[in-house]
Structure 1
Amino acid sequence: MERVCLPNFPTAADGLRKAAEQLELCDHLPAVDNGVRMLQKMDAIMDRLDQLGQKVEALDQKVDALDRRVDALDRKVDALDRKVDALDRKLDQKVDALDQKFNALDQKVTTLNRNALVRQRNSHVIRGDMNLVPPYSVLTGEVIEDFPRNIDELGRLPVREIEKLLRSLGETVAGSAAEKKRSLSWACGLLSREF
């Protein structure tokens, strides 16, 4: 007959004890305590996420408020920029106007100086057929075109032409025809003789 192996009960009991010890260690596994610790950890994480969400929301509100303030500041800067541009244009216009006035004054002073020399030279003209030095226009700074060549031609000018010459010389056109002729005579340097 064949020999039958019988179980070794003490070895089996010892194995069961070791298995029981190992099973007791399973208490430390998260899944074994019905996931309570895992749920506690998840709750703690959720609490922290809620706190973080509240902080993000508060930060978002602060950023929105800051954005509104930056927009208001941007509008103020734009308004200030428009004012500065307007002042700059106004200043440019005033500088341009001042420059034009200065140039006109410079031209007038230069013309008056030239005409002082013209009057000096014409003061020696004593006869009607002697040549006159033509004066300069204070309006253009140039020699007056078609100015009469001598006293005789000057004497034949109509009053309208005399007024035109007086304006070109920067003189007044008020008064009678005789007064206008006298003004033109003095403006040309003809002190010793009237036309």
Structure 2
Amino acid sequence: MERASEQPDFPLAVRSLETLTEQVGRCQNLPAVDGGLRLAQAFEDMRNDMRDMRNEINRKLDDLDRKVDYLDSRVQDLDQRMIVAERNGAARMENSSAMRADACLAPLLSLETGEEIPDCPSTMDEADALSSREVDRILRQLGVSTAGPVQDRRRRLLLALGVARRAV
């Protein structure tokens, strides 16, 4: 019967309801209660981070591909220049024995194209008959200076052809 005489503690009931409300409100933080929204957001964040990393890796790979292509092109250019230099060296040695103005000269290859220089003089007479413009064109293809008067450029052309005796 003692229980019947006890009076309710309303302030305690209010505090208990406040505590219960606060604790029930925190249930939304539980993954099972929030419908996995936080977990889904974490996965979305990870997916975005991975996409960003993939994009950055792809950009870096593209840059690397461009650099490798550039290096490959440079190596091919060097290879061509070495082949041209080697073949032109052999032609110059052959041409160095030319004594007469009508002696045959071996043609040289262009550093620009790797091909035989078009209208490369086949004799010293032909070299002497070239116009100033033709001399410059051939010198440029051999990577030789085109500066100075035409007689200096002709001399450089004969030296480039390997005809040292006549050029001096």
The TM-score, its normalising length taken from structure 2, stands at: 0.78
1:155 equivalenced with 2:128 (yes/no): yes
2:164 aligns to what?
A: 191
2:139 aligns to what?
A: 166
Take 1:113 and 1:165, find their aligned partners in 2: how far apart are those partners? Answer: 18
1:102 equivalenced with 2:85 (yes/no): no
Deviation at 1:107, TM superposition (A): 0.5
SS in 2 for 1:134: coil
1:82 aligns to what?
A: 55
1:133 equivalenced with 2:106 (yes/no): yes
* Aligned-pair identity (%): 30
Deviation at 1:127, TM superposition (A): 1.0
Deviation at 1:168, TM superposition (A): 1.1
The one-letter code matched in structure 2 to 1:119 is: R
The TM-score, its normalising length taken from structure 1, stands at: 0.67
The one-letter code matched in structure 1 to 2:166 is: R
Deviation at 1:66, TM superposition (A): 1.3
Aligned pairs, number: 143
Uncovered stretches (5+) of structure 2, i.e. residues with no partner: 1-23
1:18 aligns to what?
A: none
Q: Cα RMSD over matched residues? A: 2.2
The one-letter code matched in structure 2 to 1:106 is: D
SS in 1 for 2:167: coil
Matches within 5 A, 1:1-195: 58-61=31-34, 63-194=36-167
Take 1:97 and 1:60, find their aligned partners in 2: how far apart are those partners? Answer: 57
Give 4+ residue runs of structure 1 displaced > 4 Å after superposition.
Answer: none
Of the structure 1 ranges 171-180 and 70-79, higher mean CA displacement relative to structure 2 is found in 171-180
Take 2:132 and 2:34, find their aligned partners in 1: how far apart are those partners? Answer: 85
Deviation at 1:162, TM superposition (A): 0.9
Take 1:175 and 1:90, find their aligned partners in 2: how far apart are those partners? Answer: 44
The one-letter code matched in structure 2 to 1:193 is: R
